[in-house]
Structure 1
Amino acid sequence: MDDKVYEFVEDQTMTMQQYINNIFKWMVIGVLTTFLTAFALERTSFMAHAGVLPLLLVVFQFAVVIRLSRHLMTMKPATAKALYITYSVITGITFSYVISSYTGFTVSLAFLVAAIYFGVLVILGTVVKMDLTRIGTLCLTGLFVYLIFAIIVMIFNLPVGSLIMPLISLALFAGITAYDMQKSLQLYHRASSNKEMLEKISIYGAFNLYLDFMNIFLDILQLLGDNN
């Protein structure tokens, strides 16, 4: 009887390693979904004839982010996964237009460099004992300011060097990525006895890291800048 009870308890928990594996499994699934979608559409004229669809896709992406952020605790894990995959597909559609402007070699090199840079930051977020909350908050605030400045630059066509903006973004996402990884590990300890909650939190952690990686990739792609 005791053995059966023990087995039941074991089935309802998730070890730290399983939790981390789940985060990276879903992060990789999201990245692959985005790039497979992008490469499948890049040689087509889909985006050129999409009309207002790109704008609608951006609005939907924001809606998914808000829903995951505000309603994660109440939704089912399957719903969180469905929203995440949907977001990855939509990002792939918009990315098809971006990568079509660059050579295949440049896109591949940017992906490799982004993966290495991202991997180093994740390792730092895992092994560093210092609390990165303050650094993460500062970087997120800096990112908000950066986005406002980027919009102003775009609207008024300000003469900002092509290297400055992506370098600033890479510096900001260095802190954000390490912080997101550390935050995911901290969340495990708060819900370590609830397997369903850990599953949802791991999807949320994967989503945050996915966003970090995609932004890092875009910055590096812009720095390499070998257009078709």
Structure 2
Amino acid sequence: MSDLNRGYARTVPADRADMSVDAGLRSFMLGVYNKVALGLLLSAGLAFLTGTFAPVRDLMFTQAANGRVGYSLLGMAVAFAPLAILLLSSFTMRNPNPRSAGALYWSIVTLIGASLGVLALVYTGTSIFSTFLITATAFGALSLFGYSTKKDLTAVGSFLIIGLFGIIIASLVNMFLHSSMMAFIVNVLGVLIFAGLIAYDTQRLKMSYYQMGGDQSAMGVATSYGALSLYLNFINLFQFLLSLFGSRR
């Protein structure tokens, strides 16, 4: 999913960009990070609501007698709606403006946040909180690396995107195989891939800023699309880490 909006701006090689401190660049990146932080805050609030407030929880999720947790029809619609919106927007939003890009971002954040309530039914609250803190720490370090490194991560990013499609296919196959070993491998690879994508997308955003040449409308669009990429990377890294280390109820 996180790869569907990676083409909003072509980048220039990292070693060609002006690496000096730039107030405009700082402002641009701060706008991206603020939007990511607000998106995560909204998602956490919605996940808490749908996972703990009984009237909403019972509409969104199912709990079998054996403890198995799943999605209701409404829950499945909410969970898959972001993917449908991303696919639709790739065909309909050829020339997005800041308002439409912002609407896309907040729509996806809202839907993903609502669907994440299922985690509160599967994992303990302490486990979710501790994993979130670990993810936030890792995200900060990886994004800082992507921002500050002078090494061009384009080739690495292309490799990671191929790997992303690989784990999506493996996950779909494992829905039928139910192999715990394959699930473990997918989770480990997922952590590595999304960790790398955080650094890659941060550098890509930085390079795109230089190419936009101060175009405020383009930067408004890039802020939302950039925040979406980083938000999705964060959420996926969080879920893979939770699958590996989380304590189940």
Q: TM-score, normalization: structure 1? A: 0.87
Change in 2 beyond 3 A, CA 1:73/1:202: farther
Amino acid at match of 1:48: F
In 1, the alpha carbon distance for the partners of 2:158 and 2:215 equals 28
Contact 1:73 1:197 in 2 (8 A): no
Contact 1:133 1:179 in 2 (8 A): yes
Among residues 29, 37, 41, which one is paired with 1:28 in the alignment? Answer: 37
Q: Aligned to 2:146, what secondary structure does the other structure show?
A: helix
Distance, in Å, in 2 between the alignment partners of 1:58 and 1:159 is: 23
| CA distance, structure 2, for counterparts of residue 61 and residue 212 of structure 1 | 14
What's the secondary structure of 1:160's corresponding residue? helix
Counterpart contact for 1:37–1:92, Cα < 8 Å: yes
Post-superposition Cα deviations, 1:141-175, rounded to whole Å, max 9, x if no partner, equal: 01101111111112121241654322111111122
Indicate the structure (1 or 2) with the bigger Cα radius of gyration.
1
* Equivalent position amino acid for 2:173 in 1: I
Q: 1:26 to 1:73 in 2, by over 3 A?
A: farther
CA contact (8 A) 1:33 1:85 kept: no
Given residue 24 of structure 2, which amino acid in structure 1 is its aligned partner? T
- The unaligned stretches of length 5 or more in structure 2 are 1-22, 63-70
Which has the larger displacement, 49-58 or 180-189?
Answer: 49-58
Find the counterpart in structure 1 of residue 167 from structure 2.
146
Which one is further off, 56-65 or 75-84? 56-65
The yes-or-no answer on 1:183 pairing with 2:204 is yes
Task: Identify the match of residue 218 of structure 1 among 239, 242, 246.
Answer: 239
1:116 corresponds to: 137
Alpha carbons 2:194, 2:237 under 8 Å: kept: yes
Once the two structures are superposed, residues 78-115 of structure 1 have per-residue CA deviations (whole angstroms, 9 ceiling, x without a partner) of: 22112211111111111001232111100100100000
Aligned pairs for 1:1-228 within 5 A: 15-43=24-52, 44=54, 45-48=58-61, 51-69=72-90, 74-160=95-181, 163-228=184-249
Name the CA shift for 1:124/1:72 in 2 (closer, same or farther; >3 Å). farther
Q: Which amino acid aligns with 2:130?
A: L
Q: 1:68 to 1:124 in 2, by over 3 A?
A: farther
Give, in angstroms, the shift of residue 70 of structure 1: 5.3
C-alpha distance in structure 2 between counterparts of 1:69 and 1:130, whole Å: 30
**Paired position in structure 1 for 2:20:** none
**Contact 1:114-1:217 at 8 Å conserved across structures:** yes
Query: What is the CA RMSD across the aligned residues, in angstroms?
Result: 1.9
**8 Å CA contact retained: 1:68, 1:80:** no
Residue 25 of structure 1 and its aligned partner are, at CA, apart by 0.8
Distance 1:193 1:71, change over 3 A: farther
SS of the equivalent of 2:248 reads coil
Residues 110 and 225 (structure 1 numbering): CA distance in 2 closer, same or farther, change over 3 Å?
A: same
User: Match for 2:60: what amino acid?
Assistant: M
Paired residues of 2:32 and 2:226 also in contact (CA < 8 A): yes
Contact 1:54 1:94 (8 Å CA) reproduced: yes
Residues 103, 227 of structure 1: 8 Å contact kept: yes
Structure 2 counterpart of 1:224, one-letter code:
F
CA deviation after TM superposition for structure 1 residue 76, in Å: 2.3
CA change 1:70–1:29 in 2 (3 A) is farther
